[in-house]
Structure 1
Amino acid sequence: MSVTMKDVADIAGVSIATVSHVINKTRYVNPELVKKVEQAIWDSGYISKLNNKKLSQYKIGKASEIALVIPSTNNDFYCRLVMTISHLLNDEGYVLSTYLSDENYLKEKHILNELISNRRIAGTILVPTSNDFDDYEKLVKSRLPFIFLEKTFKNKEVSVVYSDNTDAIYRSTKHLIKSGHENIALLLEKRTENSYDEYITGYKKALEEYNIPFRNQYIIPINSKNLTYVDEIKSLLKSKISTAYITGCNNLTPKFLECVDELGIQYPNDISIIGFTDNEWCERISPPLTMLKHNTQELSEKATEMILKKIEHNSLNENESVCIPIDLTIRKSTQNIARGPFGEMTVNPEQNVLTEEEIEKLNNSNFKVAISFHYSGDKWTKLHEQAIKETMNRYGIHLLSITDAHFDPELQITQLESLIMQKPDAIIALPTDEVQTAQKFKEISKKTKLILLNNMPSSFEPNDYACWISVNERENGQNAAKILVDHFKHKKTAKIGMITHGTPFFATKQRDFFAEQTLKENENINIVARKDFLKIDNTYDVCKNMILENPDIEGIYITWERPALKAIKALEDMNREDIVVSTTDLDYDIASYLAKKKMVIGISSQRPFEQGTAVAIATAKALLGKNEYKSIGVPPYTVTQTNLPKAWRELIKTEFPDFKNN
């Protein structure tokens, strides 16, 4: 029995492709792997086959070719299959002959009849056009070795290699649901009936997991051979029935993006998109596309291995079914949709804009506004205040006064009484405590328009305030957790602690919830401890006790930077600078640790200036009685050691400090 490249790969513990690259020197391979492969070639006796191939590379005459029958070469997927399978077979001395069925069964039937009677054909790899297994009875009964590629037949014993479409759509739909989407449209090529059912199975599975009802209106069958299908896509987009779209095949994705562009729709601000495509340009467009991509290398390797086994081992009756995962790469074409205090969908501040007519009316109205901050002694609040002032000045809105409660609920109540005596047309407020200040805010809501930041007073109802503005806390928590996930992605198990806010503020509660959810979704992450703090100063002891109880903790999520600094001080005093920290909000001290690569590995930061601008415009809309949106969520900014200088300039609006000399 002749030794094959697959035998060499098994001995060396590598893929067929790696063996091929070592032999043909077509790609860099780690020297250790090269040594393993060369030893396996020698031990298996494959070296003699290689020497013979130098004299005669290819088989000739009978059984010298392997046929690949595919629908077309109109997309990158099939082109990649042809190139990769051809290269792999070339190493075994076979020539690949490619035939196009044009998705026409009669043409495919004619091709197969010719292949069965062609003595040069040693075997066939077939992407079937028909969904009826009986149509391939003649091929099955022939003595021609064959395997199916990319299409399965239920309850039929045949060899097949196929992509896991069900899991791909399940993971895509789940990603969108986790990002806050519920109305998710799935565009499918109706002609590929087999895949069509697999996609819907995965789609339904994700919906059921999150208790979202399946609605048939979101399954959009498309026939790309119908000349009107582009108009169908445009009508779908104009209907605005969905906030997110998954395009279910290679052909649909570029046309869908063209329609989006022609209609002036912005993604991810207006809609989120996940494309199914093997086109490399999707990685380079702006914003780059979140995409599903076939693993053509693995499909090709497995298909080559299976057909060679049937040919060279004469194993016509030995059948196997191999499912290859599809890659899901998350990029920037999908948006996290946060939820407001009453479950309403928050909108991006870019959607809340003033018209020229509204600006003119504001400048002619002499509106007066007051601000009640929970605290104004940090850079965040100062930038917030600066943006509010600058924006209001542009629209002729007079700022009466700004108060700072120093995190004291009783002081804020007293300050609110003083502010309301000035008879403002609106009050912008960040409640220091959602319970203790609730009654006073309830009184004020009946006397003036109330615009709330981050926190929501208890017992409030939607009619008690004009608008609520915050960072997109869903995304904020997810980003902070993902920093830890990425840091430990190469570890089999990572033990993580969480330090969260004990007071049930809506914003921090939402942030911490999604951070924990993101951590739990990764199998290698083990949350071994979670502790709350009520006062920031107490975080030092909370962290210290957590580490004493769980000394093997490797990383900690801390809800925002001020308590994070207290926890970091505790770690320093315990000589535990080996523990990494992820948190939210950018300020000088936390940035210093990040810049010096001391414990802090990343930050998900609010955009204080942009939030201040959003607050001012929401207030202006409220003054005019035109606040269309009750909840506005400003996207956070992920800050790493790599992008820290740029992030500092964009978020803090000053030159990047020289942390290394401070």
Structure 2
Amino acid sequence: MKSSRFTARAQGVRWLAVGLSALALTLSGCSAQGGSPSDSSSTAAQVSEPSLEFAGPNGEKPGKITDLVLTDDEKAKVKSGKFKAAFVWHTSSEFVSAVEKGAREEFTALGIDVVASTQANFDAATQANNLQTVLALKPDIIVTIAVDPVSAEATFKPAVDKGTKLVVMTTPPANYHAGNEFVSIVTESLTDAGKMNATILGDALGGEGDIGYMYHDADFWFTNQRDKAFKSWTQFLYPGEKIVAEVGFTDEAKTQELAAAMIARNPNIKGIYVPWATAAQGVLAALRDAGRSDVKVVTNDLDATLAADMARDGNAVGLVGNSSISLGKGLATASAYGVLGKTAPALVATTPTKVTKDNLVQGWKDDYGVEPPQSVTGK
């Protein structure tokens, strides 16, 4: 699977994140070459149990995906409406494909016709062009995630002005609010995902050793919360682990050189956290080039490259899935709320799934709704 270039620069975005004061750990990134952080937050002995409160970009309190419910009468009204939907994605990946699969299945059950699906390779200008193309098809519903929340405010205004129902997976345009410019946010429980990454790596290392912490160095509420949760839970649960290098990035194509510098400057590193799977592909490449088969890697999203490495007892020791099919169905159900004029929860979240070599095949099926590729199973 080709790595996509993360070019989003969400500079200047300052989301209101009510309840995130407990998450306010300073991400003091090192130089591009990595290095030991200077802040005292890496001293695990001084860390108390995290009190991490998951909240949306505008302080929305999350409900469960099961809070999205349609009556038989409401389903019949949607079916009779002959509504059209389109996907305006941020990028393409196995995760996005699985989410779309779940959404399409639910759209079909609701009699909603999907007229388009676009992706932007994490480029805000491309997403803006894609939206204009999609709007020409006059969809009643657009399922999306903003590449750059700031520029997306203007990008998606024509859709809002037309009365198109926007349903958001994770990240809405800046200054958009549920019940007004969009229907609902459907995502995963970010703090739970961060904790799962921490426990996978902690178990793999036996709770001991130096680790590297890579994080998304942009104001992107979704990745920021997940990254911080990993760091907080690692420091609390595994006092024998020490974060000796912190490296931020915005372009996932740079992770190979950043990881190479990190392990060169910190040769005792035994584990690395990476925010998402395609970014972790570069980390695996750096470890392979350095002959460092001893370094364990954890990340988010199920990915064939990482999964195949894990199946072969490589560097990857765990992936945290998003319950992608369920997430997609939730997006479609929230879309039905929109066309019905029914008030939806502002934010609902799926429960992430912990996938290791022991449950790799079943975990892939549960998350993506299909068998893992041959590169993973060897069949």
SS of residue matched to 1:512: helix
| Equivalent of residue 286 in structure 2, options 570, 577, 595 | 570
Q: CA offset at residue 529 of structure 1?
A: 1.1
Q: Which amino acid aligns with 2:161?
A: K
Counterpart position of 2:182? 465
* 1:526 to 2:238 alignment: no
- Unaligned 5+ runs, structure 2: 1-18, 24-51
Q: CA offset at residue 658 of structure 1?
A: 6.2
SS of residue matched to 2:63: coil
1:56-94 superposed Cα distances (whole Å, 9 cap, x missing partner): xxxxxxxxxxxxxxxxxxxxxxxxxxxxxxxxxxxxxxx
* 1:655 to 2:368 alignment: no
Counterpart position of 1:479? 196
SS of residue matched to 1:416: helix
Counterpart position of 2:5? none
Partner Cα separation in structure 2 for residue 567 and residue 379 of structure 1: 19
1:276-300 superposed Cα distances (whole Å, 9 cap, x missing partner): xxxxxxxxxxxxxxxxxxxxxxxxx
* 1:451 to 2:167 alignment: yes
Counterpart position of 1:393? 108
Change (3 A) 1:575 1:210: closer
Counterpart position of 1:602? 318
Partner Cα separation in structure 2 for residue 467 and residue 210 of structure 1: 25
Partner Cα separation in structure 2 for residue 468 and residue 588 of structure 1: 27
Q: CA offset at residue 445 of structure 1?
A: 2.5
Q: Which amino acid aligns with 2:205?
A: F
SS of residue matched to 1:446: helix
Count of residues in correspondence between the two structures: 328
Question: TM-score, normalization: structure 2?
Answer: 0.81
* 1:347 to 2:67 alignment: no
| Equivalent of residue 625 in structure 1, options 341, 351, 355 | 341
* 1:438 to 2:156 alignment: no
Q: Which amino acid aligns with 1:510?
A: Q
Deviates further, 498-507 or 440-449: 440-449
Counterpart position of 2:130? 415
Q: Which amino acid aligns with 2:138?
A: K
RMSD: 2.2
SS of residue matched to 1:520: helix
Partner Cα separation in structure 1 for residue 159 and residue 378 of structure 2: 49
Q: CA offset at residue 418 of structure 1?
A: 2.2
Partner Cα separation in structure 1 for residue 375 and residue 183 of structure 2: 43
Change (3 A) 1:516 1:444: same
| Equivalent of residue 497 in structure 1, options 212, 237, 240 | 212
- Unaligned 5+ runs, structure 1: 1-181, 183-208, 212-335
Q: Which amino acid aligns with 1:645?
A: V
Q: Which amino acid aligns with 2:169?
A: L
SS of residue matched to 1:554: strand
Counterpart position of 1:11? none
1:308-345 superposed Cα distances (whole Å, 9 cap, x missing partner): xxxxxxxxxxxxxxxxxxxxxxxxxxxx9732222222
Q: Which amino acid aligns with 1:433?
A: D
Q: Is the 8 A contact 2:204 2:296 kept in 1?
A: no
1:493-523 superposed Cα distances (whole Å, 9 cap, x missing partner): x211111112322211111111111112132
1:174-200 superposed Cα distances (whole Å, 9 cap, x missing partner): xxxxxxxx9xxxxxxxxxxxxxxxxxx
Q: CA offset at residue 660 of structure 1?
A: 6.9
Q: Is the 8 A contact 1:618 1:627 kept in 2?
A: no
Q: Is the 8 A contact 1:456 1:505 kept in 2?
A: no
Counterpart position of 2:271? 555
Partner Cα separation in structure 1 for residue 207 and residue 217 of structure 2: 32
Partner Cα separation in structure 2 for residue 490 and residue 526 of structure 1: 10
Q: CA offset at residue 490 of structure 1?
A: 5.0
Change (3 A) 1:344 1:490: closer
Change (3 A) 1:659 1:403: closer
Change (3 A) 1:590 1:658: closer
Q: CA offset at residue 391 of structure 1?
A: 0.9
Question: TM-score, normalization: structure 1?
Answer: 0.47
* 1:404 to 2:126 alignment: no
Within a 5 Å distance, the mapping from 1:244-259 to structure 2 comes to none
Q: Report which structure shows greater RCO (CA 8 Å, sep ≥6).
A: 2
Q: Is the 8 A contact 2:184 2:344 kept in 1?
A: no
Q: Which amino acid aligns with 2:199?
A: K
Q: Which amino acid aligns with 2:59?
A: G
Q: Which amino acid aligns with 1:654?
A: V
Q: Which amino acid aligns with 2:174?
A: S
Counterpart position of 2:45? none
Q: Which amino acid aligns with 1:361?
A: K
Q: Which amino acid aligns with 1:544?
A: A
Partner Cα separation in structure 2 for residue 565 and residue 210 of structure 1: 31
Counterpart position of 1:165? none
| Identical-pair percentage | 28
